[in-house]
Amino acid sequence: MRVVLTGGGTGGHIYPAVAVARQLESEDNTAEFLYIGGKKGLESKLVPQENIPFQSIEISGFKRKLSFDNVKTILRFLEAVKESRKMLKEFKPDVVVGTGGYVCGPVVYAAAKLGIPSIIHEQNAIPGLTNKFLSRYVDTVAVSFEGAEKAFSSAKNTIYTGNPRATTVQHANPERGFASLGIPKGSKVVLIVGGSRGAKAINDAMIQMADQLKNLGEIHVVYVTGDGYYESTLQAIKERLGHIPSYLHVLPYVHNMPEVLAATSLIVNRAGASFLAEITSLGIPAILIPSPNVTNNHQEANARTLEKAGAARMLLEKDLTGIALFQNIEDIMKDEKIQRSMMEASKRLGKPDSASLLVAEMKRIAKNK
């Protein structure tokens, strides 16, 4: 099977596409891939590292206010469609899969116009503009959140698959997670992450509550600052406590996140869709602090889905303080009944077979054309 993957801008669009590729490889060792991404997007760095052939086009997104730049965007889109058609004709895919981001627009649109079976995957509870536009052209729209299908009323076919990233973490080894953190196996771990680049609001709250963490007892707190905040955070905590205690682990970045997640008892994080897919696949209780700086405030919608199900608590950034965050962590970690209830609710939301469901739909639409 020959597959073109496209998606970019953030890891939330890229990693699900990679998860689909890995799942198809496990089912078909003759599968061949081409990833079409943006010239300047994060995908131009991440995808080659995954040993997936990569080609690029020039594309940008629309401004939400009236702007002459939107005229340039339309012209770039038309040129990118032309480039995509050429790449698709040369590669001759059986199916094209788009996982979101501006770059999907011209690639998936070109595929639909060429009569190539196509599918888009929407990670968030509130769909992005690109996927809303493409939904009327593709054969199938796959969604991560149950009930999100109704946002695509113009689509030919919609299915609930969950997020393929959930499959990636399903078999992660917790022992390797503990070992990489230098924490004894079986310990209780609270993981606090502000996203790949970090988040100032979470960083500030973490510093404020640093002197309260000793009250959690025999619990290890792992704080992943993001590279840009690491030195300043480390210094601020040292000044506040006089030293970094053994139960507090401050790291700039975690390269083996699935394994660390598998060792985690409670996570504090933003509410990006791919991350939520990972934690529900593993059944990890969560405190979610959605970023207010995202399109359509979709992270809050994502977080409310888990909160409503009982799998997470949500703290809006405007309400975030060190005291508020610590109280929520303490409430959950000192009550095993709450932990168990949240864990069970999280697992009910999890779709560890997401990637296989999406691959099955890819095979179906390819066969029917």
Burial class (CB in 10 A: 0-12, 13-18, 19+), 234: middle
Same-domain check for residues 299 and 222: yes
Same-domain check for residues 160 and 204: no
Find the domain containing 51 and state its range. 2-164+352-368
Measured CA to CA, the distance from residue 316 to residue 334 in angstroms comes to 23
**Sheet of 248-251: strands edge to edge?**
248-251, 219-224, 188-193, 266-269, 286-288, 312-314
**Tens of pLDDT, residues 149-169:** 999 998 999 999 999 999 989
Rg (CA), the chain: 21
* Side chain identity, residue 49: Q
Same-domain check for residues 141 and 225: no
* Average pLDDT value over all residues in the chain: 93
Same-domain check for residues 274 and 126: no
Residue 67: pLDDT over 60: no
Measured CA to CA, the distance from residue 286 to residue 341 in angstroms comes to 12
Calculate the alpha carbon distances from 78 to 34, 53, 84 in Å: 21, 24, 10
Number of domains in the chain: 2
Which residue(s) pair with 33 in the sheet? Answer: 3
Burial class (CB in 10 A: 0-12, 13-18, 19+), 275: buried
Same-domain check for residues 192 and 287: yes
Alpha helices in 117-226 (DSSP H): 129-134, 165-169, 174-181, 200-209
Binding-site sequence positions: 10-12, 124, 196, 299
Same-domain check for residues 176 and 114: no
Burial class (CB in 10 A: 0-12, 13-18, 19+), 71: exposed
Q: What is the pTM of this model?
A: 0.85
Same-domain check for residues 59 and 43: yes
Mean pLDDT of the region 94-103:
95
What pLDDT is attached to residue 60? 64
**Tens of pLDDT, residues 127-154:** 988 899 999 999 999 999 999 999 999 8
Same-domain check for residues 160 and 188: no
Structure tokens of 250?
Answer: 């401050």
CATH number for 327 = 3.40.50.2000
**Tens of pLDDT, residues 24-42:** 999 999 999 999 999 988 8
Measured CA to CA, the distance from residue 314 to residue 168 in angstroms comes to 25
Same-domain check for residues 215 and 338: yes
Same-domain check for residues 159 and 189: no
Same-domain check for residues 245 and 271: yes
Same-domain check for residues 191 and 125: no
No. of helices (H) and no. of strands (E), the chain: 15, 13
**Tens of pLDDT, residues 254-280:** 989 999 999 999 999 999 998 999 999
Binding-site sequence positions for UDP-N-acetyl-alpha-D-glucosamine: 10-12, 124, 196, 299
- Contact indicator for 140, 98 with CB cutoff of 8 Å: no
- Contact indicator for 120, 137 with CB cutoff of 8 Å: no
Residue 73: pLDDT over 80: no
